[in-house]
Amino acid sequence: MTPFWDAITGRTTPKRANLDSLFLVPSAAITLETSAGLMPTGTGSVCFRAADGAAYQQTQDDVVALIRDDPDKPDVSVQRDDFGFTWLVVTRATSDVEGLCTDLHAVNTSLEEQGFAGGLLCTVVPFADPSGRKVGLVYLYKQGTFYGFAPSGAKTRDNLLELQVRDELKAELPMEEDLQRWLALWGAPGL
């Protein structure tokens, strides 16, 4: 009854991101490796719109310090892109996908807790295969779903590989159903 009433009154409830989905990525990585030969590259990044002011800067510093405190000493860098978005890039050993996803989860949750949830855009975990094909597993924060983004050139993308990734991971991850939402991320770090 409630969805019907919402439709009548024209209300929409935004989807809540379930950040725990990020912990499903390590098992998805194994599936991608066995079924498509795609291996994790060891990097992962979170894309968000940085806010002005001291509160934001402090949060970012805290997150970076938190990740650097890890005994494995992962490499963290902060980059700005042409669209005005900030990328927080974490690099770890290629085999340590669990650690990487924990870091990405930590970045997302701390920004969310400090009230910067509105600026969070996506989280990207890139994969590559021996023949040089690359595909980024993108987690859309505002939808709570994943999709594959496989750039094959400057502005071209390998739709077939993206569909293949969706078919492989359908059982494990919440994949984005609407193909219109599979938007490109040209020049994302690690892709």
Partner 1 sequence: MTIASTAGIVAGMLTRGAQYGAFFGGGRRNSNDNNGGVPVWAIILVVSLVVYAVSFFLTRLLSRYRELCADRSGAYLTMKPRALATALQKISGHMNGIPDRDLRSVDSMNAFFISPAVKAGFNQLTSTHPSLEQRLEQLAKIQAELGRPTDAPLDGPAAP
| Positions in the binding site for partner 1 (CB under 8 A) | 34-37, 47, 81, 83-85, 121-122, 130, 138, 155, 157-164, 167-168, 178-180, 182-186
Residue closer to partner 1, measured from CB, 6 or 62? 6
CB 99 within 8 A of CB 116: no
Q: Which amino acid is at 27?
A: S
Residue closer to partner 1, measured from CB, 53 or 84? 84
DSSP 82-151: TTS-EEEEEE--TT-HHHHHHHHHHHHHHHHHTT-GGGEEEEEEEEE-TTS-EEEEEEETTTTEEEEE-B
Minimum distance of partner 1 from residue 71's CB (angstroms):
30
Cα maximum dimension of the chain: 54
Minimum distance of partner 1 from residue 63's CB (angstroms):
21
Residue closer to partner 1, measured from CB, 102 or 158? 158
Residue closer to partner 1, measured from CB, 71 or 153? 153
Minimum distance of partner 1 from residue 158's CB (angstroms):
7
Residue closer to partner 1, measured from CB, 102 or 127? 127
Distance CA 137, CA 147 (A): 6
Minimum distance of partner 1 from residue 66's CB (angstroms):
26
Minimum distance of partner 1 from residue 28's CB (angstroms):
15
Distance CA 12, CA 1 (A): 14
